[in-house]
């Protein structure tokens, strides 16, 4: 039963970590190297992350600079960024690529806040789904007489406590990200 509770907690924490990753990739008018994490460049026949073939840095609040170690891939990086869903046109000067992030409009901020709320809600649904699976496993263990009714009640309480903690974390992450977007 303890392994079930531990496993349930780990699954819920992975959901929270995934949400944090999704939040870090949201383009919020500020230059953030994480927006390039999903972009892959064809580098000698292998799809490669930009941060593995170039130095990526934030020079100003809204400017991202990509300086490849091998200048021959400059065009490929530019093309990969253009075909991605980032929505920013890279500027290539022959040595580096600059990405200038435009300031967000009020409407776009509200859209992003709604997307963040939806992501948070999806994460909470995933956490509750993990809880439901764990509760069902506890009931099955009780039915097979592997655990007592007291063990089942204790297990359910522990799982509910873990669930509440993770839901609270998701709520605070969502609220923090929404405030960050509205303050920009």
2-25+105-183 and 33-100: identical CATH topology: no
Q: How confident is the model at residue 28 (pLDDT cuts 50, 70, 90)?
A: low
Domain segments of the chain as ranges: 2-25+105-183, 33-100
What pLDDT, on a 0 to 100 scale, did the predictor assign at position 27? Answer: 64
Residue from 112, 50, 44 nearest 81 by CA: 50
Question: Which is more confident, 28 or 113?
Answer: 113
More confident residue, 184 or 173: 173
Architecture in CATH for domain 33-100? 2-Layer Sandwich (3.30)
User: Which of residues 35 and 142 earns the better pLDDT score?
Assistant: 142
Q: Which whole number is the average pLDDT over 30-57?
A: 87
2-25+105-183: CATH topology is Topoisomerase I; Chain A, domain 4 (1.10.132)
Residues 154-164 have pLDDT tens digits of 999 999 999 99
Measured distance CA(33)–CA(49) in Å, rounded: 12
Residue 136 has pLDDT above 90, yes or no: yes
Q: What is the largest CA-CA distance in the chain?
A: 71
Q: Which pLDDT value is given to residue 123? A: 96
């Amino acid at each position: 039963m303890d392994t079930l509770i531990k496993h349930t907690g780990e699954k819920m924490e992975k959901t929270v970590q995934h949400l944090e990753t999704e939040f870090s990739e949201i383009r919020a008018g500020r230059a953030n190297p994480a927006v390039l994490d999903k972009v892959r460049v064809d580098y000698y026949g292998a799809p490669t992350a930009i941060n593995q073939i170039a130095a990526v840095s934030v020079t100003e609040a809204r400017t991202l600079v990509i300086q490849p170690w091998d200048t021959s891939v400059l065009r490929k990086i530019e093309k990969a960024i253009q075909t991605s869903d980032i929505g920013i046109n890279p500027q290539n000067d022959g040595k580096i690529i600059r990405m200038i992030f435009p300031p967000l409009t009020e409407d776009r901020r509200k859209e992003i806040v709604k997307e963040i709320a939806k992501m948070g809600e999806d994460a909470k649904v995933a956490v509750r789904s993990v809880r439901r699976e764990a509760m069902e496993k506890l009931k099955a263990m009780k039915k097979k007489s592997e655990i007592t009714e007291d063990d089942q009640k204790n297990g359910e309480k522990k799982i509910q406590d873990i669930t509440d903690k993770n839901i609270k974390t998701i709520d605070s992450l969502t609220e923090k990200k929404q405030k960050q977007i509205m303050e920009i």
